[in-house]
Structure 1
Amino acid sequence: MTQPRYDVVAIGNAIVDVLAPATDAFITENGMTKGQMQLIFSPDDADALYAKMGAGQVISGGSAANTVAGMARLGSACAFIGQVADDELGDAFAHDIRAGDIRFDVAARPGQPTTGRCLVLVTPDGQRTMNTFLGASHFLPAEALDRALIADAAYLYIEGYLWDPEEPRAAMRAAIAVAKEAGRKVAFTTSAEFVIDRHRADFLRLIDDGQVDVIFANEAELVALTEATDVEAAIARLAPKVETLVVTLAEKGALAVAGGTRVTVPAEPVAAVVDTTGAGDLFAAGFLHGRTHGLDLERSLRLGAICAAEVIGHVGARPVADLKALAAQVLG
């Protein structure tokens, strides 16, 4: 097996985040569940909610895209596969990800729907409530995959959020097959409980068939996936089936189980929680960078915690501080 040129190639939603402050009352009045993500299926509904929002910031986002953005800032070689439309937001997304030294070659899709967007409402406690119109990202075809690129990466990283629509689901299945044939590893983030509820059988089948090497989930997602009675039962059920299971524990830190070894690290201290958007994405960035650069489980978890702490200290799901410098202060 040849040495891979890339550390990670990620497949995910290519979307742009619009972040604005909001009150708890606004969340309730508009029928949302605080801290959760819901899909918006109509562009008219997305426009209506956007009109109600206060002044905010426009920042490129998307779960897997955020992860490779963090990895690239740490020094990993990364590429991203996702679908944008031939419009202003699509141009912004493509510019941002390429400016982050991440390879992005998928051609923009002409016509409707528009590039996906996530309307993120941030309450004073830093919690984010996301309302996502996936738009063009729903139409990523298998033909858009660069199979040589996927085979040339140590890890293929895929997000559960993109499993819903049929076309990108087929693309991700094809990508997994390419990665496995090339002897590469597949990492998968479960994304959200509502995604698991819709696709639990599919996800478990992938795991049982040995198609997933690394799983990222928070406590609630892990319990939902396994339908276990609690987190410990869920870990006992799932850990033996994958090479590495990574579970984020919010303010309690994170744990990983690999080859019968279990390691737990505390959360990194944060001066103030400003916006939790992207915390899990950046945790995965730190962990995967660690694993692709020879760090053990504990140091990889610590690097994930460092990256997560950085991103929740400001608005937006992409890092703004020098992650290499932050990592050096803790890891040496």
Structure 2
Amino acid sequence: MRIAVTGSIATDHLMVYPGRFAEQFISEMVEHVSLSFLADHLEVREGGVAANISFGMGRFDLRPVLVGAAGVDFAAYGERLREAGVDIASVRVSETLHTARFVCTTDADQNQIATFYAGAMAEAGRIDLAEVHRRTGGLDLVLVGADDPEAMLRHTATAHALGVPVAADPSQQLARLDTDQTRRLVNGARLLFTNEYESALLRERTGWSEQEVLGRVGTWIVTRGAKGVSIMAAGGRRTDVPAVVTEHVVDPTGVGDAFRAGFLTGLAWELPYERAAQLGCALATSVLGSVGTQEYKLLPSELLARIGGAFGAEAAREIGERLGNDT
């Protein structure tokens, strides 16, 4: 199964604030916020939603096609992704702009405040998904992730025109999208990914109820943090998959991307949606225990132990049949 992952490619600047954001907010002054948080730790890591998802899929030897725009500083990052099994031939490299920056501060409660600088991502709309489709010999699925909004709309329209199924994943860009744009991204998607907050924001943006959204997409996957994942379809069909519990929580950045990487891997392996979500939850826990979205170490034995402990021996056996000796 040939999967293209479109979206941001970025460098992450990850900081840790030892206190709690909520203790610093004054309710009657929320319209005039002026706050500065003194972080006691900084990590600079490679990231971006499309790159993170592609990296995770590459670890399972799927050779995902990364489609996004990067900057003049991309050479070393690109080589690292290529070595991880990612097809980077469709990445547009800007001649003048730097790769996007994600600056994120996490507090003691794992709440986050982040700012994203687009940089070279502004050129993503110049990428022709039809050319990617031709170059690769045909795509089987296109995930449209957070990116320059015009690029997201163009990729969605092109995929539909080509008859290639779409997985809509607007995530952070929902805040920038208007009603018409959000509807165009969602309508006709085979899969829709959001987290719990984004699901409410998506309903507000589209003006559609949950059932109206489900009437326009194949399956809606909602990640709910420690509460796990819900897989929803029209007619009220819903499957809840619990999270894989861990006591080793380091940084939540990139956890949602890891879930998507695991879920899409499960689809490529032709596993049922529930099994794919279980694989995604297990991979997400691996990222939760490391700093950086692509720094996790993973062996099949460790992954299957998590899956078996959370979902039982049958789940571990079925997923284990598709795993190699090293990941």
Equivalent position of 1:22 in the other structure: 17
Q: 2:212 matched to 1:237?
A: yes
**Amino acid of the structure 2 residue aligned with 1:185:** P
Q: CA 1:121–1:206 in 2, change beyond 3 Å: closer, same or farther?
A: closer
CA distance, structure 2, for counterparts of residue 316 and residue 185 of structure 1: 30
**Amino acid of the structure 1 residue aligned with 2:192:** I
Deviation at 1:30, TM superposition (A): 11
**1:253-291: CA deviations, max 9, x gaps?**
111124654211111111232111011111111111111
Q: 2:160 matched to 1:180?
A: yes
Instruction: Say which SS state the counterpart of residue 177 (structure 2) adopts.
Output: helix
**1:206-237: CA deviations, max 9, x gaps?**
433x2x21100112211121139xxxx95333
Equivalent position of 1:201 in the other structure: 180
Deviation at 1:156, TM superposition (A): 0.5
**Amino acid of the structure 2 residue aligned with 1:110:** E
The answer to whether the Cα contact below 8 Å between 1:254 and 1:264 also exists between their aligned partners in 2 is yes
Partner of residue 302 from structure 1, selected from 257, 278, 289: 278
Q: TM-score, normalization: structure 1?
A: 0.78
Partner of residue 60 from structure 1, selected from 34, 42, 46: 46
**1:100-144: CA deviations, max 9, x gaps?**
110112342122x32211112232333333221111111224345
Equivalent position of 2:197 in the other structure: 220
**1:6-36: CA deviations, max 9, x gaps?**
2x211111111122222447898899xxxxx
The answer to whether the Cα contact below 8 Å between 1:73 and 1:324 also exists between their aligned partners in 2 is no
Q: TM-score, normalization: structure 2?
A: 0.79
Q: 2:240 matched to 1:264?
A: yes
**Amino acid of the structure 2 residue aligned with 1:225:** L
Deviation at 1:158, TM superposition (A): 1.3
Equivalent position of 2:250 in the other structure: 274
Aligned residue pairs total 293
Partner of residue 93 from structure 2, selected from 85, 108, 129: 108
Instruction: Say which SS state the counterpart of residue 93 (structure 2) adopts.
Output: coil
Partner of residue 229 from structure 2, selected from 247, 250, 254: 254
Instruction: Say which SS state the counterpart of residue 94 (structure 1) adopts.
Output: helix
Instruction: Say which SS state the counterpart of residue 103 (structure 1) adopts.
Output: coil
Instruction: Say which SS state the counterpart of residue 198 (structure 1) adopts.
Output: coil
Among the aligned pairs, what percent are the same residue?
26
**Greater relative contact order: 1 or 2 (C-alpha under 8 angstroms, separation 6 or more)?**
1
Instruction: Say which SS state the counterpart of residue 105 (structure 2) adopts.
Output: strand
- Aligned-residue CA RMSD in angstroms? 2.9
CA distance, structure 1, for counterparts of residue 280 and residue 168 of structure 2: 16
- Unaligned residue ranges in structure 1 (runs of 5+): 32-48
The answer to whether the Cα contact below 8 Å between 2:52 and 2:258 also exists between their aligned partners in 1 is yes
CA distance, structure 2, for counterparts of residue 53 and residue 109 of structure 1: 32
Deviation at 1:53, TM superposition (A): 5.8
Q: Which runs of 4+ in 1 moved over 4 A?
A: 25-31, 52-55
